[in-house]
Structure formats: C-alpha cells, structure tokens
Amino acid sequence: MMADSMQQPEPSVDGRGGENDAERSRIDGATVRHMLELATTWLERHVTVVNALNVFPVPDGDTGTNMHLTMRAAVEAVRRVADEGAGAVVRAAAQGAVLGARGNSGVILSQIVAGLSRGVGDTRSISSAEFARALAEGASNAYRAVTRPVEGTILTVARAAGDAAVECVTQARESVSTVLGAAMAGAHRAVQATPLQLPLLKQAGVVDAGGEGYRLILEGMGFALRGEALPALGEVSLPVAAVQMLPDDGTISPEDDPLAGEWGYCTQFVIVAHDGADLSVEKVRDDLQVLAESTMVVGGDGFVRIHGHTEDPGSLLTRAVQFGRVQRISIEDMDAQAERWRMAAGRVGGGTEVRSSGEPPDLDAPLADVA
C-alpha cells in the first residue's frame, strides 16, 4: 500500500460551534495566507498518492506534482505582496497560479483560484457569504476555461464544493469555518462519485486525481482555520473507489487497458503582449484550440497561458508568435511519460488488494473559527 494520510473526519456542517460563532464570521489577509500555505504543504505531502490516481486525461502520473507546483507558485506570489488585505492576497495568489500553472490540472486549479479572486474582489476581509460565493465562482470560472468540460473530474468536485458552501450560507450558517466544512463535505462526496461519472476511472478502479487534489487543498485550509499543525502521515490504503478492479492475474488486453493510448506532446507556454498591444484571451483561444486537444487558454495581466496536447508542438508555437512574445515553453512527451509511469506503477493485479481510504467521515466533527 502507498503512504497516505489517515482520512480526516469531515467537518461539521450543522453550525454547532461556540456561542461566539456569529461574531467570528470574517477572515483577514493573514488568515487567507496561512490557509494557502498549509493547503500547499498538505497537498505536497500527498503528491505521490495523487500521482498514483492519475489516469485521466493522460495516465502520466503527474497530476499531484502539477497541482502542487501551481499552488506553490501561488504562495510564492502571495509572499511578495505587501498589502495584507484579503482581496490583495487572493489576487496575488491568482496571478501567481495562472503564471506558474503546470499541466492540465494545474491550469484548471489556477482558474479556480482566479475565480476565487473575482468572487472576493478588493475586500480587506472575507465574510462567510463572500467566501461561499468565491468558492462557487472559482468552479464556474474553471468550467469556462475548459473547451470541453468533462464530469467526474476536478471541475465536478469544485462545483460540488462551491454549491455546498452556498447552500450552507443560504441556510444561515454564518461562520467561515462552517462554510469551509460544508465545502469539504461536498468535495468528499463528489470525489467518491467520480468513477460513476467517468467510466475510465471506474475501469481503472480509482477516484479522480485532480478532484482528490482539490479535496486535499480544502482539507489543508481546514487545518489552518482550526489552528492545528498538519498531522503526520500514516500507512493506509490508496484512496480509490469501490469499483471493479483489474483481473487478479494482472492481465488485460491492450484494447481494454484504461492506461493505453497515444498522447503526443503536452505543450505549454505563455504569450506576453507586445508593449501597448491588446491581448484577447478569446481571440487566442479561438485561433489555437483547433491545433490541439485538451486545450486551455487563460489570461492574466498582460499575458495568456496556453496548455494543449498535440502531435505537432511546432505548429502551435508558430501560430502563437503572431500574438506576442512566447515564453516559458514546456514540451513533454506524454507517450514516454505514460510508459514510464506504467512501468513504475506496476499495475494493479496479481491478487493485490486496493481498498477505499477510510470509512465515511464523521459529519458531526466540529471545525473551529478564526476571527
């Protein structure tokens, strides 16, 4: 079995905290910074586990790595900001995440953070209602960034978390920590359901890697709000779904293999606008998305980040040059990555047992507030 954390009980969503809960209904910039830092560290500790779940869209075992590097870029940007307002902190995190996004999952995550920033605005502190709306806007923004959204992925999990948070506020549960607790519970349920939405996950016997990564990010934020140190990791089962495993003898035909396929090159780069030029995300997206699969084109302040899977990276880069200066180019052979990952992962089989990572969480466990 792989090293993972003991599954943490989900926080309470019933609003039963201390009698001063209603008074502690906002979080400031310092708290947001701490939440992002602990979320990044918690995700980092689970990178190997999240990588092991990675079968969609390409089984190359890097989802955890890419999400962690994206979060780390966000935190590094936050640490360079002098303004302690919550809005400024989240805005810096969004800028850092978009510029430093890695891989398909990282770009989607960066758009969740960018949506959070849009939802928060320039406020000095964030109320429970603002936090809930920001989580929902993060999910919506990510959906808008993906050319062909697929359910059973991080998108689904982010939307479930945002919907649960908004519903919590609608029911007049006003503490920020309770809203986060609702989001964590919603994310957990959505992660467990991903194999029912994406057949490839069910066939491989895993939950979605990006969705699990996002759940871990929310969980790390929860530790920050509770004022707790991150717990030590234990030796537990890989967080997979209770679905049909591969054959006991480890054999599977190539046409039925969920990890088989030809993927081409993961091509990523940033286009920086020429001085004074107008760089339209929509125009770049319309022009480039026909040249690659899994295309995502997202914008920042004066730049556009592009991610795509293609057999011909040169054509994509040549087309991109017309829009501005092309920087931060990364081209990775996904076929080679997938083959290395298949060899390293060893495939489930030969009687190896893969179980769920824990019993259903305790929804009555309290989550403390930070004023």
Residue that wins the pLDDT comparison between 70 and 238: 70
Report the relative pairing of strands 234-235 and 3-4 from DSSP bridges: antiparallel
Q: pLDDT-derived band of residue 161, with 50, 70 and 90 as boundaries?
A: very high
Of 201, 118, 203, which is closest to residue 157 (Cα–Cα)? 201
> Amino acid identity, residue 8?
Q
**Does position 254 have pLDDT exceeding 50, yes or no?**
no
CA angle 55–67–286, rounded 5-degree value: 80
User: pLDDT (tens digit, 9 = 90+) per residue, 133-150?
Assistant: 999 999 999 999 888 889
Q: In the chain, what are the domains?
A: 3-10+26-235 (1.25.40.340), 265-345 (3.30.70)
- The fraction of the chain above a pLDDT of 70, given in percent, is 73
Residue that wins the pLDDT comparison between 203 and 182: 182
User: DSSP class of residue 232?
Assistant: P
User: pLDDT (tens digit, 9 = 90+) per residue, 56-74?
Assistant: 666 667 899 999 999 999 9
Of 4, 9, 3, 71, which is closest to residue 228 (Cα–Cα)? 9
Of 49, 16, 11, 367, which is closest to residue 188 (Cα–Cα)? 11
Q: Distance between CA atoms of 44 and 38, rounded to whole angstroms?
A: 10
**Does position 358 have pLDDT exceeding 80, yes or no?**
no
Q: Distance between CA atoms of 316 and 19, rounded to whole angstroms?
A: 58
Encode 78-118 in three state secondary structure: HHCCCCCCHHHHHHHHHHHHHHHCCHHHHHHHHHHHHHHHH
With a threshold of 0.85, does the pTM exceed it?
no
Left if phi > 0, otherwise alpha if psi is -120 to 50, otherwise beta: which for 307? beta
